Structure 1
Amino acid sequence: MRTLIFAMNTTLDGYIAAPGDDLGWSGGEGPDSSAGDELFQWWSDRVGATGLALYGRKLWEEMSAHWPTADEQPGATPAVIEFAARWRDMPKVVFSSTIDEVDGNARLVTGDAVAEITRLKAEDGGPMDIAGATLAGAAMRAGLIDEYAIVTHPVLVGGGTPFFTTLDHWVNLDLVETRTFPGGVLLTRYERRR
């Protein structure tokens, strides 16, 4: 059975995007960001270890607009080249009822996301990452997420897209890792208590 992990950057007040889907608070994900090379490498290593990535439409469109050719851009650093190759090679499933096709190493699911995620979890294979607020929220409400990797940036934005969705039941978690990155960025990783 696969493990399902929800890992995202978030603000201190719990938002993965500020109003208007603004991600400027994160300072980007590269050597020029406030957390620099160390955080970018952490994300790259996660991509390299992911057996299957599950994307909602918005995040898929953002990632697929940049990463397939990021390593071909002038000035691409070795870290960007590595991340781009890992991202292209990582199998992906995109959940959307509003797009007709996906490309690269991805397949599209237009039906019941919770049923498909449940089916994928039951398969053998490496860990699955889930990304995108709506998709992760559906998996959270269905009790499918096994681990939360919260990368908290020291900024308050006052609103936007929340990391956590409203739940019907409590979910007890165990803290399994903390790590501080440059710029005051903090990783907290929790596993669901069984």
Structure 2
Amino acid sequence: MIVALLNQKGGVGKTTLALHLAGQWARTGKRITLIDADPQGSALDWSQQRAREGLPRLFGVVGLARDTLHREAPELARDADHIVIDGPPRVAALMRSALLAANLALVPVQPSPFDGWASAEMLTLIREARIYRPELAARFVLNRCATRTVIARETAETLADHDPPVLVTTIGQRVAFADAAQSGRLVFETDEDSPASREIAAFAAEVGRIAP
């Protein structure tokens, strides 16, 4: 499976979710390659920080921020069980290439009306990609979510009527993600029983159940 995390709006947590999805699958024994398709290279930076800390490699990270991604990702997929693509913000050609490469597009959004409006162009790109890839699956992911707030509940209710639908699993707004990232770690490496770790495990399991 090739999973692309995409949203034209920056700051929605694409890299954090991509790294944790790859890491969670890797710890279950899957062979994972993460493609950093964001010109900012945040996933590559994380991987380098991990190496500086002397931590073992969980999965490979490859920089591939170019619009030939749809031709190159399937080649990488031959040596992996899953490919996770950390997509770029606001680069339409790169996004189109990532969508043409993927079996599943995950669109992280925060519980805010602004995120909903910003997703409209992303959905247009998904519809365009389905002309060439009608089997492309897509889901929203509610991220950085304070679950008991009214706006979080309203966002979830709004997305429930959408195509694509929203994942059941939501990811909370937790400092554990930032704390772990500073040292090239993932949340389950700092506290395996934390709420953040449990959310990531549920997220990865739900994504894994979606048939491409």
**Taking structure 2 as the reference length, what is the TM-score of the superposition?**
0.45
Considering fraction of residues, name the structure with more strand: 1
Report which of the two has the higher share of helix.
Answer: 2
Greater length-normalized contact order (CA 8 Å, ≥ 6 residues apart): 1
Question: TM-score normalised to the size of structure 1?
Answer: 0.49
